[in-house]
Chains A and B, each alone.
Chain A
Amino acid sequence: MVWLLIVVPLLAAVLAFAVSSPTLRAWILPTVGILHLGILLVALTTWRTLPATAWFGLDALGGWVLLVISVLFCICAFYAPAYLALRPDRDHRVLSTCLLGFLGLASLLAQARHPGIAWVAMETTTLVTAPLIYFNHNRRSLEATWKYLVIGSVGIALALLGTLFIAYAAHMGGLQEPLRYTRLMENGALLSRPWLRAGFVLTLVGYGTKMGLAPLHTWKPDAYGETPGIVGALLAGGVTSCAFLALLRIYAVVGAAGEGAFARELMVAFGMLSMAWALVFMIRQTDIKRLLAYSSVEHMGILVFGIGIGGLAAKFALFHLAANALVKSVLFLSAGNIHRSYASKQLPFVTGAIRRTPVSGWLFLLGFLAITGMPPFAPFLSEFNIASGALSTGHILGGTAFLILLGCIFLAMSETVVQVVFGTPSAQRVRTPYKDAPATTAPLIVALGLALILGIWMPRPLQAMLDHAATTVEGVLSARMEVQP
């Protein structure tokens, strides 16, 4: 049944391309989103052991990541019809098709049991998301699309080389194809060390480029800055999660092969660097969407940092994937609303949002507080546990630096956010007809509500899934939990 998760969105993408009525087409998005989430939830409640020979199937890790993407897609999809109605000048045939295509390919990636298939899915995801960035059809978005396409393709090419290196490591160890993740993990001890290490470095750099880890994030502020908020939300929470999953699969193989210490160090270093780099560019950032892009760089850093620390921190890094995706959708979509209202996303022009668009202004403010780790929202829970995981496992320096960086990032972001939300309205602002309406704010309130609930209470099945996913990431195969396709 899980194959429906791939087929339904892809068929819907074809349908969206064929339908000529814009209103009808816009409503395909939420319909498919809710259908996808429903199928996924049913699939996740009926766990069975997957035969080792399967090419596709959901395990706890893939299921968790896909659940995050599916919920995020739903939020964005329910926001879409109202948003697209605000942009009657722009044809959204390509946008709708590519959004649905992305959902299908993300489902393929989550279910891939072979690194080669995962790579193909990831590369195709890059290609279908590139036209999304070009939605505004102007010079700036064109520049962003070109950078996204070129930098992303090079990164993903390096990931392919890394995947081939790991396949060669197995080849030298006498393992035969098909080298599914399970086989690679079970026979970890046989893998050739130099090729495995080189392969991991390349996949980290390659998929890290897609995630937007510093210093390979250069496409990110441009891409997120020039796209509609809805695409920004899906890129920041969806595409990056896909790349993170592809990386985690390789990380698990490296861990199972007993080279975990090597991989951990690299992850921690990359994480710290991303957070520090993001901080530098957040200071006095006047463009709200670019500010969010750097926040995304920071949070990708938090994810790999947590995974690198391991144990409790790794589990909460996976939890942070959900927390970040939910809150980022609130931030990007409310920033999109503010952008609509002011016809600008730059600081001297966008001030006093709380008076002009009260709901979006509040959501932007609350989203900012949530993402920087204010209790009781979900990011607080994950960031707190990652820090305490680091400090309690002897990473005193890393844990302290992590907390200091979080504090500085809060200060850097607050300077811009406070002006946007509370500042005195600028005299030279443009009047636009945009007003906050339930259709453009309700999905955001739901997302923020979910982030709040997750920060306080975690349903037991999700808890179990997260535990299993965390053990898989650490390279332990015993706790396998998979769904038959």
Chain B
Amino acid sequence: MMPDLLIALTMLSNFSLVATSRVSKAIQFAVLQGVLLGLMPLAMGLGRHFHIVLLAIAAVTVKGWLIPFLFRRALRQVHIQREVDPYIGYTVSLMLCALGTGLSLVLAHNLPLKAGTEYTLLVPASLATLFTGFLLLVSRRKALTQVVGYLVLENGIYLFGLLLVEDMPALVEAGILLDLFVGIFVMGIVINHIRVAFDSTDTRHLAELKD
């Protein structure tokens, strides 16, 4: 029951993510998603495995504390509040998100699951979240919102990984988490350089190079 609720909340937050124009709200939703997903293994009743508890703590720390810290710092530096004039408007984004969620359900329906899998919602939720991440990445102009898209994309992959959470080597999980953190850290640095060089973090300015 509890896991299904968390999955449903994640899918709902996808819609909030594409509908909001405030960058800080988008960050909050992505962080909320990350924390919900970090808690998932515990909700799935896997609290008896020591390494899974440890990884859940690590995931919640990275996604609920370290990454928001990076985002807050970036927001302070770039002084932006709203995503202005996105490539794809909010209403259309919302409809696309709904369409993507529907397609994910259809697609997941056609993929076989291991007999006895309890959480049949994981695969469609994962694909839907993945799609939302993509949508944010391609439809928003602000570099920071694109990073949010990347984070949501990773959340989608993490959802799928939950199917394998009991099995996955801790070394690999820790590596993935570390890479996510370092990735967002590096992107934050680049965004700050973009702000200094262009006096804006609008990726519209990044269009000088072409054939």
Contact = CB atoms under 8 A, between A and B. Distances in A.
Interface of A: 55, 114, 116-117, 119-120, 123-124, 127, 130-131, 134, 138-140, 142-147, 149-150, 153-154, 157, 160-161, 164-165, 167-168, 171-172, 176-178, 192, 194-195, 198, 221-222, 225-226, 281, 285, 290
Given A123-B179, A127-B186, A145-B190, A161 B146 contact: no
Contact of B167 (A145, A150, A177, A225): A177
A177 B169 CA distance: 7
Given A143-B209, A150-B137, A157-B150, A127 B167 contact: no
Minimum-distance CB pairs A-B, first 6:
A116-B172, A120-B175, A143-B206, A177-B167, A222-B209, A123-B179
A160 B156 CA distance: 11
Given A154-B137, A154-B150, A130 B186 contact: yes
B143 A281 contact: no
Given A116-B175, A154-B150, A164 B209 contact: no
A178 B164 CA distance: 12
Contact of B206 (A134, A147, A160, A285): A147
Given A120-B179, A154-B153, A161-B157, A290 B211 contact: yes
A226 B209 contact: yes
Binding site secondary structure of chain B? helix
Contact of A114 (B114, B169, B194): B169
B175 A194 contact: no
A120 B111 contact: no
Interface residues of B, number: 44
B193 A142 contact: yes
A145 B187 CA distance: 10
Interface string B80-123: 00000000000000000000000000000011111000000000
A168 B209 contact: no
Contacts of B153: 154, 157
B190 A130 contact: yes
Nearest to B146: A150
B182 A127 contact: yes
Interface in B155-178: 156-157, 160-161, 163-164, 167-169, 171-172, 175-176, 178
Binding site secondary structure of chain A? helix
Contacts of A176: 167
Given A143-B205, A149-B186, A149-B187, 16 more contacts: A116-B169, A117-B171, A120-B176, A123-B183, A134-B193, A139-B197, A139-B198, A142-B193, A143-B208, A144-B209, A146-B194, A157-B150, A160-B157, A168-B114, A168-B163, A221-B211
B61 interface: no
Given A140-B209, A172-B114, A178 B169 contact: yes
Interface string B112-140: 11100000000000000010001001000
Contacts of B160: 161, 164-165, 168
B211 A153 contact: no
B190 A114 contact: no
B158 to A, nearest CB: 10
Nearest to A118: B172
A149 B167 contact: no
A222 to B, nearest CB: 4
17 contacts: A55-B171, A119-B175, A127-B183, A134-B193, A138-B197, A146-B206, A147-B206, A153-B150, A153-B187, A154-B134, A154-B137, A157-B150, A160-B157, A165-B160, A177-B168, A192-B112, A194-B112
Between A117, A144, A150, the greatest number of chain B beta carbons within 10 A of the residue's beta carbon is seen for A150
A55 B169 CA distance: 11
Given A127-B182, A143-B208, A164-B157, A149 B190 contact: yes
Contacts of A145: 190
Contacts of B113: 172
Between B146, B169, B172, the greatest number of chain A beta carbons within 10 A of the residue's beta carbon is seen for B172
Contacts of B198: 139
Nearest to B143: A146
Contacts of A154: 134, 137, 150, 153
